Structure 1
C-alpha cells in the first residue's frame, strides 16, 4: 500500500465548493471521513472542515453504548 503525500492547501473558490460537494455526496452515501481522507490524499481535519462547510449533518461516532448490564 503506497501512501499519497497529503495536499497541503485546500483549493480556493469554485474548486473548493466542488470538492466539498463531492465529499458530501460520498459521506451521505455512507463513506467515513477517514476513507474520504485516504481517497483524496487529504488530512482527516481538511476533509472534516470541507464537510462542515458543505453543511453535512455528521453521524455519531458509533460503537457500544452504556446501558443496563445483561442479567
Structure 2
C-alpha cells in the first residue's frame, strides 16, 4: 500500500476512492489510524479525513478513561 501513495502528493478521483476503500477495509479489520498512517507514509489527519469521507464508523478512543476509579 505504501508504494501506491507518494508522500505529499495530492490524491484525487478514482485513486482517492481506491485508497479510501483499502484504508477502510484495513481499519475495519482492526488496524488503527496511526498504523494506517505509518503504513502509507501519510499523516494521521489525512487518514482520518479519508476514512470519514468514506463513511467509515470510527471507533472510540482506547486507553484509560477519566472518572471514578473502580475498586473491588
TM-score over 0.5 for the alignment? Answer: yes
Residue 11 of structure 2 corresponds to: 11
> Counterparts of 2:18 and 2:9 in 1: how far apart (Å)?
15
Q: TM-score, normalised by structure 2?
A: 0.81
- Write out the 4+ residue segments of structure 1 that deviate beyond 3 Å after TM superposition: none
Q: TM-score, normalised by structure 1?
A: 0.82
Residue 69 of structure 1 corresponds to: 70
> Counterparts of 2:34 and 2:69 in 1: how far apart (Å)?
32
Aligned residue pair count: 66
Q: Which runs of 5+ in 1 are unaligned?
A: 1-5
